[in-house]
Amino acid sequence: MPPVSKTAETSGSTGAAAGSDGRALLRLEGATVRFGARAALDSVDLDVAEHEIVCVLGPSGSGKSTLLRVIAGLQDLDAGRVFLDGRDQQGVAAHRRGVGLMFQDHQLFPQRDVGGNVAFGPRMHGASRAEQDVRVEELLELVGLPGAARRTVAALSGGEQQRVALARALAPRPRLLMLDEPLGQLDRSLRERLVVELRELFTELGTTVLAVTHDQGEAFALADRVVVMRDGRIAQSGTPLEVWQHPVDEFVARFLGFDNVVEATVGTGSADTPWGKVPVPEGTPQGDCTLLVRPAGVRLVPASEGLACTVTARTFRGTHVAVHLQPHDAPRLEAACALRDAPEPGAEVGVAFEAQEVVVLP
């Protein structure tokens, strides 16, 4: 695959909206929240365009939930501003912001039936009984639970509760829907199915979405744009492909699960690394750098060729096997192998590198 050039949407410090019409439905300017001496949000700038689906990724404690709470009006800012539709939200109460929120534990009302849960928002906005009933049926249809209005919440599976929570969040027609670990509690196969359905649903409805997750797979499947957070700041913002192909630094690379990262010195056509000479893409500037070799670029060759390694472990990754390799005197490596080609732990192999899977991290 050809390298994607770094664009304004791939930014190391700000989260510029990648929306087609460029109109920011949500804008954060210098948003800062401190708890004691520590900044949970540290001068965050972020735009989300209308109809855009943005996923915020980051390790635990990086400020993802604080970001959502600030936008929802559940957390005061120490500095900076939040704009919705161009209007400063300073002093605007949470229930007047037109923002829908869905938390990871669903928080359905256990004493109400499914319909009662979904009708909650419209009822609070003064909808008549008949209007509420129509809206409930519409939404249950939309989330794939037609006719479920009279079922009790306790009798629903985790996935069904998830859908009801989504219907409830969508019911008041929020201009911005925020999801905090929306699929966190569900098992992997259900998550993978729901994430596809969610994307289809949001695209169909034209909903603007800001979702928080620590699952990269989920973020990459759902989002038009991914924002990676670190210590209350935006480390990188870009399309899933941009971020995946060109992590801006070692932190983002490692967060995405890329561990083949070493210090290197680039010369003509190749770099000197602890793994020996590694070919680099044409045009790579010479000098010292940090180098990432994606596992797909670590090719196994006969033990007598290339870098000698011992296979230490294999991890099944669905479409391929991650083969963990220990060179005799260099940092560990991971190779991506087809199922039938993966060598057994203990095997002695050689390793060759492919330039197109080598990324120089600034």
Ligand X SMILES: Nc1ncnc2c1ncn2[C@@H]1O[C@H](COP(=O)(O)OP(=O)(O)OP(=O)(O)O)[C@@H](O)[C@H]1O
Question: Which residues contact ligand X (rule: CB under 6 A)?
Answer: 35, 40, 58, 60-66, 214
By beta-carbon proximity to ligand X, the closer residue of 45 and 50 is: 45
Grouping H, G, I as helix, E, B as strand and the rest as coil, residue 320 is coil
Tokens, residue 262: 């070493």
Residue 337: CB minimum distance to ligand X, A: 32
By beta-carbon proximity to ligand X, the closer residue of 151 and 254 is: 254
By beta-carbon proximity to ligand X, the closer residue of 65 and 284 is: 65
**Under 8 Å between Cβ of 12 and 55:** no
By beta-carbon proximity to ligand X, the closer residue of 33 and 243 is: 33
For residue 211, give every residue at least 6 positions away whose Cβ sits within 8 Å of its Cβ, in sequence order, or none.
53, 54, 55, 56, 178, 179, 180, 182, 219, 222, 223
By beta-carbon proximity to ligand X, the closer residue of 63 and 297 is: 63
Please give the order of strands across the beta sheet that includes 348-353.
298-301, 348-353, 307-316, 321-327, 333-337
Closest CA to 345 of 322, 361, 328: 322
Distance CA 94, CA 71 (A): 9
Residue 233: CB minimum distance to ligand X, A: 12
Residue 69: CB minimum distance to ligand X, A: 7
Residue 77: CB minimum distance to ligand X, A: 13
By beta-carbon proximity to ligand X, the closer residue of 65 and 237 is: 65
Residue 68: CB minimum distance to ligand X, A: 8
Tokens, residue 168: 């409830």
Which helix (H) or strand (E) element contains residue 358?
strand 358-361
Residue 236: CB minimum distance to ligand X, A: 15
